[in-house]
Amino acid sequence: MLQTFANVFKIPELRRRVMFTLGILLIERITAHIPAPGINSLALGQYFKQAENTLLSFYDLFAGGGLSQATIAALGIMPYISASIILQLLGTTIPYLQKLQKEGDEGRKKINQMTRYGTVALSAVQALGVATWLCSLSVVVGNQEVKVVPDQGAMFFLLTMVTMTTCTMFIMWLGEQITERGIGNGISLIITIGILARFPSAIMDEVRQIVSGNRNIMIEIVLIAILLVIVAAIIFITQGIRKIPVQYARRVIGRKVYGGQSTHIPMRINIAGVMPIIFAQSIMFVPNTIATFFPGAVSDFVTQHFSIDSIFYNFIFLIIIVFFTYFYTAIAMNPVEVADNLKKQGAFIPGIRPGKKTSDFIDNILTRVTLPSAIFLGLIAILPFFVKNATDVSYSFASFFGGTSLLIIVGVALDTIQQIESHLVMRHYDGFLKTGKIRGRRG
């Protein structure tokens, strides 16, 4: 393993990509520590200590701690994710967007440009909501009430919208640079590094609980064992495939015989990866964002039913994850296109007639293998809720025992390792594992 990491830095191109990625992630983390103007960060930090188990703390997890620290990166990358979801949903109903999706690189560039414009609009709206919410906050320090925003004038709203929107666009650009010139998916890596930034503090909180005698060390050992089992299960589902056999027809051209070989289509059980979790979480943030504009009964209702400690919230979260797993799988793999490509290449599935019968066969398999994957993702996503209630650990620590945090970390780590693996194998170096089936080597 150590030799493999050394090999990474022996390849000039791979070394540049890795160092570029690390440099960009460092810049992104710096933005998460630049304070936003006009906010009393100490008062806001005190408020978040009191709101540890709310959806706000969960949003702060995706923002890499930017919201609780009152930084210009308070929105994080979530507006970009939301804009991507909206365009993908519209792409299933609007013919113009469907046409762009089929135009290859040119169509993708236009869709990306639309996503950027949508990110600007959503960032501005969410920044206005954050500014309105911050102005309504106050904490009691001693016997004195301290407002989070001392000067609540129009200039504060304008500065908040401009700084947070600009920072979100900058982070989006950083993510695109990683994807283009670095290693891994830039947006996913930015979300992952923001989640991991909170892991050391969560560990230290548990250590303090053990030292103070409030936590039994045997419980921590059991939790670590459970964590390892969950990680193994996530890797198993993420890397699992369903092989669909394919036979190529034999063709005689002159004195040569072409085709006739057998192969298979490696259909992944979890084609959607971590995207359904990210999409679902973006949707779950919407009610709380809207509620900031309607204080009173609406805000109280949303706070009660859309708290991460709520059964209702976790049930809706599970349903949305299952829906987005099927939705994203349908976008990532179109059975009709796969059947058409097989027909054009002179290939067929044994026992299945080419054309519609083949597409129906592939769609049936896709539906069946996606169901356990979707349910698994949903159950893992809501697992921290049960871990916290059963062991009374903090939610920041319980979130690493499943949930969105662990799914994203494992999924992004596997994707990044596979990209590095492909670079190493292409240049005749050993990968991270010298024996067994290495998923990154699959064709």
Q: Are residues 107 and 216 in the same domain?
A: no
Tell me if 396 is assigned to some domain: yes
Q: For residue 151, what is the DSSP state?
A: -
Q: Which two tokens stand for residue 428?
A: 């005749």
CATH of the domain at 388: 1.10.3370.10
Tell me if 1 is assigned to some domain: no
Residue span of the structural domain in which 89 resides: 14-197
Cβ partners under 8 Å of residue 144, min gap 6: none
Q: Could you identify the residue written with the tokens 């779950």? A: 284
Could you tell me if 85 and 111 are in contact, meaning their C-beta atoms sit under 8 angstroms apart? no
Domain endpoint, select from 197, 224, 247: 197
pLDDT < 50 positions in the chain: 437-443
Burial class from Cβ neighbours inside 10 Å (0-12, 13-18, 19+) for residue 110 reads middle
Q: Are residues 99 and 229 in the same domain?
A: no
| Predicted local confidence at residue 443, as pLDDT | 35
| Predicted local confidence at residue 67, as pLDDT | 65
Could you tell me if 230 and 380 are in contact, meaning their C-beta atoms sit under 8 angstroms apart? yes
Q: Are residues 86 and 230 in the same domain?
A: no
- Residue 390 CA to residue 223 CA, distance in Å, equals 11
Tell me if 6 is assigned to some domain: no
**Alpha-helical regions (H) of 94-216:** 95-101, 105-135, 154-181, 186-196, 199-211
Domain count, the chain: 2
Q: Are residues 210 and 109 in the same domain?
A: no
| Predicted local confidence at residue 440, as pLDDT | 42
- Residue 312 CA to residue 315 CA, distance in Å, equals 5
Domain endpoint, select from 129, 164, 197: 197
Domain endpoint, select from 142, 170, 197: 197
| Predicted local confidence at residue 438, as pLDDT | 45
In the chain, the amino acid numbered 129 is G
Tell me if 77 is assigned to some domain: yes
Q: Are residues 55 and 125 in the same domain?
A: yes
In the chain, the amino acid numbered 389 is N
This prediction's pTM: 0.73
Q: Are residues 204 and 293 in the same domain?
A: yes
Q: Are residues 280 and 206 in the same domain?
A: yes
Q: Which two tokens stand for residue 362?
A: 């592939």
Tell me if 366 is assigned to some domain: yes
Q: Are residues 168 and 284 in the same domain?
A: no
Tell me if 422 is assigned to some domain: yes
Tell me if 2 is assigned to some domain: no
Q: Are residues 258 and 348 in the same domain?
A: yes
| Predicted local confidence at residue 439, as pLDDT | 46
Q: Are residues 183 and 207 in the same domain?
A: no
Q: Are residues 190 and 210 in the same domain?
A: no
| Predicted local confidence at residue 442, as pLDDT | 40
Tell me if 3 is assigned to some domain: no
End-to-end CA distance of the chain: 23
In the chain, the amino acid numbered 269 is I
Q: Are residues 328 and 401 in the same domain?
A: yes
